[in-house]
Amino acid sequence: MTAKNYDALFEPITLPNGVQLDNRFSVNPITTNSSSREGLITEEDVNYAKRRAKSAPLHITTAAYIEDYGQLFEYGPSIRDDRHIYGLSKWAEAIQSEGSKGIIQLTHAGRFARTTLQDYGITYGPTEMDLQTPEPHRSYAMSQRKIDHVVEQYAEAARRAIRAGFAGVEISNAQRLLPQQFFSTFSNQRTDKYGPQSIENRARFGVEITAAIQRVVEEEQAKDFIIGFRGTPEEVRGDQIGYTVEEFNEYVDRLLDVADIQYYAIASWGKNVYQNKVRAEGANQGRFVNEVVHEHFKGRLPIIATGGIDSPDTALDALQHADMVGLSSVFVTEPDFVNKLATGRIDDIDTSLNPKQVEDLAIPQRAFKDLVDFFDLGGTLPEETRDTLRQMADQKSLADVKIYRDDR
Ligand SMILES: Cc1cc2nc3c(=O)[nH]c(=O)nc-3n(C[C@H](O)[C@H](O)[C@H](O)COP(=O)(O)O)c2cc1C
């Protein structure tokens, strides 16, 4: 039997701005929930990142929330003010210690900001609505002033990312975060210039954020800086449509008009996301979402396929309709996936988790608190592995963990 040829995964790729990456893999965002309660980076975050410094040439971090009202994960990191730069620089240093490009993900959870709701009793979104998730609550509409503030907070977050030494930022418009909430007709029923009356209006909030970040990159003269984009290309509930793939492609085209975006990572909640098919009626119904998106942006914007990639074969399969592949769950338990594949040790690739390996893998003892169920949504890791993580997540203590505070 001849060995399968995985060479396509090891061809270098050049991003539109000229930055070269040695192969087609990227570490994708996964919140370990191991920062401090105020969102400061801890030694656990740094050790976890360092252990994955050789995992892939592009390394996109966990969601970092850009203001108090956008916090989803209780122990997620934050980039909301300058106090965070010191710890973030330690994190960037660890991620990039073997030459990878470290990209920090900038997020605002809007109406689903679970921890904000817990702490402040309130969430904001495009439109005032009564919601059931994460628990029954009323989410309030953002005023023009609040919109301007959030746009500015994104821009300032990008400035901090540059100062902390990151090679780039990723603006997440995916997985029902705030920019997506503005683009979706499910969550946006405004009557002003940000409303759902036209694609231009629905796109306006995302366009303003992206343009503001581009402005900061130019002001800071951040050479080779990577502005990445994460998006969920279609939103459908039964026969109701929040937006179609074609509309979202047009949205991303509008973002490309205002910023030099270097990649588009396709992401969504669910199983085997990279194989999702277009659900809305129309010429593309039934085709692979990734194929439709990849075709639209071919030669203009590298596409990263994510979701459900759990083996060399699925990575190769996903690359059919993408330029790169992004793995989240796999790198938790198998940080050496790419290296093993590159050196022909394919049989050594193992995504299961033996509790004895936790130290070597630098998985924080209190990792994934309240988050293990997210692994079940994708089901990419074996069930036993998820159960081991669940048991670990139940035994939590923040005691004795070094927090990177700037005490100067
Ligand atoms: C515990 C957990 C935390 C996650 N945290 C983030 C995050 O911070 N930002 C993000 O964009 N996606 C996050 N995701 C989603 C993943 O990036 C990814 O889309 C999903 O796990 C599917 O990819 P996979 O099959 O490679 O795991 C998270 C997923 C899990 C399971």
> Which CATH architecture group holds 7-393?
Alpha-Beta Barrel (3.20)
Helix (H) or strand (E) holding 157: helix 144-164
User: Residue 27 in contact with residue 60, Cβ under 8 Å?
Assistant: yes
What is the C-alpha separation between 92 and 54, in angstroms, rounded?
14
Could you tell me whether strands 235-237 and 240-243 are parallel, antiparallel, or unpaired per DSSP bridges? antiparallel
Work out the average pLDDT over 251-274: 98
User: Residue 110 in contact with residue 72, Cβ under 8 Å?
Assistant: no
**Which pLDDT score is estimated for 370?**
83
Work out the average pLDDT over 171-176: 96
- Range name among 27-36, 62-71, 135-144, 389-398 with the lowest pLDDT average: 389-398
**pLDDT for 1 beyond 50:** no
Ligand 1 contact via 154 beta carbon (within 6 Å): no
What is the C-alpha separation between 56 and 1, in angstroms, rounded?
29
**Which pLDDT score is estimated for 87?**
98
Q: pLDDT tens across 82-131, in order?
A: 999 999 999 999 999 999 999 999 999 999 999 999 999 999 999 999 99
Q: pLDDT tens across 41-81, in order?
A: 999 999 999 999 999 999 999 999 999 999 999 999 999 99
What is the C-alpha separation between 37 and 370, in angstroms, rounded?
14
Ligand 1 contact via 232 beta carbon (within 6 Å): no
What is the C-alpha separation between 313 and 331, in angstroms, rounded?
16
Q: pLDDT tens across 309-349, in order?
A: 999 999 999 999 999 999 999 999 999 999 999 999 999 99
Residue 30 Cα, ligand 1 centroid: separation in angstroms? 5
Residue 375 Cα, ligand 1 centroid: separation in angstroms? 8
Q: Count Cβ atoms below 10 Å from residue 20 Cβ, excluding itself.
A: 10
User: Residue 160 in contact with residue 84, Cβ under 8 Å?
Assistant: yes
Q: pLDDT tens across 16-39, in order?
A: 999 999 999 999 999 999 999 999
**pLDDT for 395 beyond 80:** no
What is the C-alpha separation between 296 and 275, in angstroms, rounded?
17
Categorize the per-residue pLDDT at 394 as very low, low, confident or very high, splitting at 50, 70 and 90. Answer: low
Domain ranges for the chain, please list them. Answer: 7-393
> What does the block give as tokens for 376?
């079940």
Which atom of ligand 1 is least distant from the CA of 308?
A: 25
